[in-house]
Structure 1
């Protein structure tokens, strides 16, 4: 039976090749598997198209070929009479359609890819200055995602802008969200991402290290200035005090030297009294 069917096919091909018109012949066989969310309701079609005209179609819902036109009806009746072909088409609903549908869902629709979240400052600014933060959510699948901003744990609904979900071309997506704010020292700013690949929402804090470093650098500069100013003022005060009350060892030595200072009044009076006593003693002897 298979030999006769193969011979029939070869004969048809030879006839078509020998009687090919100027425009040629186009024969197509299309396998089509259609299903919804539940792959158990699978519908399998085999369409035979000749010169862009549908001739016969196998429909798994009725379990046989349906013909269109005189030639199509004749071919459909012939196909339906072949038990091996009907058994093959019935098995292909499971081996071809459902198998590939499960594989497709596992590799694409049912797969989960965790997002990569980055938070950064787009416009440099210090504390108390208006700035903007960007939350980049990259490489996630499936497409559905929710991004929100938190300030000290409270969700922010104003001054927030977001792009549409963008396709990366590799079955992953990305999204960017922006928050305008005036940073305050000690405040916690976070980007929260909710996605089906995550057991719970993912919160990524904005790292304000650059602002802290800038703030500390400014603070250390001010402290260094005051330390330097205090040291300079203390040195100047000490120099003035030393010049005003010159208590250096050298100065005390110079003050004690007889060549530089006159005798004290008490010492001078003592010498005069001793001289007077000596003169009185000489007079008594005479």
Structure 2
């Protein structure tokens, strides 16, 4: 289930003087461990503006500002400097790429699955379920719906894998359906991190919206009872001619 991958190794050297910032970055951009698939990039910045860049794909320095053009011309005229930076593609990038590529390929994180109901768009079905699958790695994943153990192939829409941050991904799958009494609906996830498909059953007893409404209603009921009790105590004490706010020790 592996797919083409691209990473960026970024190393920064920073110097500051007089409130301005001068720094240099080195990048190894790659999609395989083959030397031909690696690009070494060295960039020079002053006050947040890149003024000169060397790329192993170009084979020389390129200037982006007046200072950068002059600097690039000077460095390009020095064969020893060009040879030195060209050598960094193999000396600097190759070993680091190999290590990071293997670490990333062997990293595997099982997905978290959550099913909830939502209002369907105007269509032929009165109900819709959403299977949210998130925090998984690697990217490739298969999400499908089961209805009484049989895979559902119609009225299903699934998003592409979306980046979730910190290497993780997420995907959403929607099922529009007409409920039947006693049926069992499940979301099945197949992923490299799982030894067997992960099947999560939908519990239709109470949706999240209904639970929220119930919690709000219960809170309101309790608050009403407390206020009623306080009002009753106030009334009884006042009827007896007592200060309703006096503390009895």
Structure whose residues are more often strand by fraction: 2
TM-score, L = length of structure 2: 0.50
Q: Which has the larger radius of gyration?
A: 1
TM-score, L = length of structure 1: 0.44
